[in-house]
Amino acid sequence: METATFGGGCFWCTEAVFLKLRGVESVVSGYTGGAKPNPTYEEVCSGRTGHAEAIQVNFDPSVISYEQLLQVFFELHDPTTLNRQGVDQGTQYRSAIFYHDEAQKETAERVKDEAGRSGMYPDPIVTEITSAAEFYPAEDYHQDFYERNREYGYCRVVIDPKITKLYKNFSELTA
């Protein structure tokens, strides 16, 4: 198993998408990239900790590659908006790839460059690529949020379209 860590806006959204992929063993919502040890959701939302809402993905590289995870990551959020995804605003919602080794760093830089040159986005990609830091799991009520709260308005309006897009554009990767 290998680990990938991504910040793509609200972790409820990214967690829900990545849990649908074959080869993904687990996804944990949490906080990383900031200065405060063991931050709470409220502290991260204040924007003063420097943390991003992120997910940590444990995956089997013999089933799904890190590159494929990155392709899903870039297509299922807007990597061109600085510190914002939809109505969610603040540094905690930044687009970020937290690499765990040099191979991940090189792959992330290459895939980001390819996505930028693809013409898929009218604006430049602002996704940061930085070394993975301490990852702090979010509070229990944030874990598996989509699966436990599918009727919640945010899930239906924001997450459901991402899941639909995943099945449409990456059907070969879905479980």
Known catalytic residues? 10
Q: Which of 52, 57, 20, 22 is nearest to 147 (CA)?
A: 20
Lookup: tokens for 68: 């494929």
CA dist 5 to 31, 97, 148, 174, Å?
Answer: 10, 6, 22, 19
Amino acid present at 86 = G
Q: Are 38 and 75 in contact (CB under 8 A)?
A: no
